[in-house]
Structure 1
Amino acid sequence: MAQVPLAPEQQQLLGQLLSSIAPHGWSDVSLTISIVGGEVHSSVVAHLGDGSEVPTVGRKTIELVDVFLAAHEQAYVPGAGSWLTARAVVLAVGRITVDFDYDHEPPFEFAPASWEVELAKRPRAAQVTPAWLAAKAVPTDDWLGVRWQMSFTVDGGPAPRPLDATTTPQGHLWLGEMVKRLTAAGVQVRLGADEGEDADGRPSIYEELRITIGEGYMSLACFAHELSWIADVFPDQCDETTAIDIVHTVITVVNEVTGCVLFAPGVLSYERRILGLSG
C-alpha cells in the first residue's frame, strides 16, 4: 500500500470518528474501506488491550465513508486512477496511520458493473491498469444482479452534508403510502427503523422500507433530505425480469408519492438498462 496524506482536517476528523466508536478498553481500531465506481464497502475492527478482536459498528459509519469518498476524489490523477482500498488505524495513544492501495483487488465483492464505472470516471493508462482490473471492467449485457447505492432527492441533485439521518413526519407519511402502493403492486415490503445521527451528531431514528427481491433485498431509508436507496441482489438470487420490474415499480412509487427524483451520477450502460434510463 502507498502512503498518501489526507488533509489535516480530514485526518483529525477520521481519528475522532474512529476513536468514538471504539469499545471500552481498546488499544487500536481500524477501518478498511474499498471504493469502486459508486459502490462502497467497509469494515471496522477494534483490538482490546488483551489482544482480542472485536468487530465494531457505530452510527459514525456514514461520516467515515464521506471522509473517504472525498479523499478518493482528491487522490485521482488523470491516467493513473485513484486508490481502490484504504486502511486507517487509530491507536489509543493518539497515533493514526492511513494507507492507500491502488493496484490490488479489494477484499470485498463488488457488482460487476462497478468496475466499468470506476475506469470510466477515473481512467487509467494501460501500463498502470492491472490485468485483473482490465478484465473486470469489460462491459457485458449478461444478467449481473442489482447492487448499488443511490438516492432520491427533491431536485435530483446531491443531498446536503453532513447527513441528517432523521425521518421527518412527512417522511413517515410517505413511507406509509409507499408500503400501500408497493404491496398493491405485489412487492414484498415491510417498514422498519434503525439508529442514526442528525446533522449535529445527535442520535436519531430513521425509518426505512425493506423490500424483498427473490433471495436478495433492497432498502429505502428515509432521511431528512434524501431517500437512500441500496440494492443487494446477486444474479442467482432473482431472475432479471422480476428484479427489473421491482426496480421500475419502486422508482414509479417514489416519484408519485414524494416527487423526489433519482440521483445516480456516473451510472453506465448496465445500471442504465436496469433503471430504464435513456442514453
Structure 2
Amino acid sequence: MSEPSGLFAEQEAFNTVGSILFGLLVDGDERIEYRSSMTVAGVASKVMAFNPAGRLEAPSGRYNTPDTPYALDRAFKVLRQACYRPGAGTWFSVLVVVQASGAASVEYNYDREVDFSLGGIDPISYVTDQEKFPRNVDQQPEWLKLRLAEGRARLAARDK
C-alpha cells in the first residue's frame, strides 16, 4: 500500500512539519528556517533560528525532546512523499520558514541540482530515488539525467 499523496496529504504533512518547527522556537526568536536537500538515500539539513541580533544555528539543545530530530526527519520524508506527482517526481530540496506568529512558508526545488556538501552524494542515490519517485525522462533536468547515468554505471560496475 502506498503512502498518501495529493494536495490534502501535502497540506497535512506541511502542517506537521510547521508544528514541529514552531515548537523549536524559544523566547526572543523571530523565525526558524529549515533547509534540506534530500533523496531516499541521503539527507543534508540545517536548522537556523533568527532573533533580533541575527542568525543562530540551532544547537542540539534546541531540540526540546529526544524524539524531535527523528520526528522532524520523518515529517519531511512524509512531506516529500506527499509532494510526489506521478511522472513529474518530487522535490530535491526545501526551505521552510516558520514565524513566531505561527505563519509558515515553503519553497520546493524540483529541478535544480542541490549541494549535499562534503563531497556531494553518490549518484546511486539518484537511481534509488528514481525507483521510489519515478520521473518521466521528459521531466528530468539534464543534470539529473547525467547523475542517473553515472549511478547506473556504478551499479553495473559493482555487479561485475
TM-score for the superposition, normalised by structure 1:
0.46
Q: Once structures 1 and 2 are overlaid, which stretch shifts more, 15-24 or 114-123? A: 15-24
- Rounded Cα–Cα distance in structure 2 between residues aligned with 1:97 and 1:5: 17
State the match for 1:140 in structure 2.
153
What does the per-residue CA deviation read over 1:91-133, in whole Å, with 9 as the maximum and x for residues that have no partner? 1111111221100112323222101111222222222101111
Return closer, same or farther for 1:96/1:113 CA change in 2, 3 Å cut-off.
same
Which is bigger in relative contact order (C-alpha 8 A, separation at least 6)?
A: 2
Q: CA deviation at 1:8?
A: 4.5
State the match for 2:57 in structure 1.
55
- Rounded Cα–Cα distance in structure 2 between residues aligned with 1:84 and 1:24: 32
What does the per-residue CA deviation read over 1:179-212, in whole Å, with 9 as the maximum and x for residues that have no partner? xxxxxxxxxxxxxxxxxxxxxxxxxxxxxxxxxx
SS at match of 2:91: coil
SS at match of 2:32: strand
Return closer, same or farther for 1:76/1:7 CA change in 2, 3 Å cut-off.
closer
Higher strand share: 1
TM-score for the superposition, normalised by structure 2:
0.76
1:1-279 correspondence runs (5 A): 7-50=10-53, 52-56=54-58, 57=60, 58=63, 59=66, 60-108=68-116, 109-138=120-149, 139-141=152-154, 269=155
- 2:69 partner letter: T
The question of whether the paired residues in 2 share the 8 Å contact of 1:5 and 1:98 is answered with: no
Return closer, same or farther for 1:129/1:11 CA change in 2, 3 Å cut-off.
closer
- Rounded Cα–Cα distance in structure 1 between residues aligned with 2:18 and 2:88: 28
- 1:113 partner letter: I
SS at match of 2:115: coil
Aligned-residue identity in percent: 25
Higher helix share: 2
Who wins on radius of gyration, i.e. which is larger?
Answer: 1
- 1:10 partner letter: A
Q: CA RMSD in A?
A: 2.3
Paired residue total: 141
- Rounded Cα–Cα distance in structure 1 between residues aligned with 2:112 and 2:8: 19
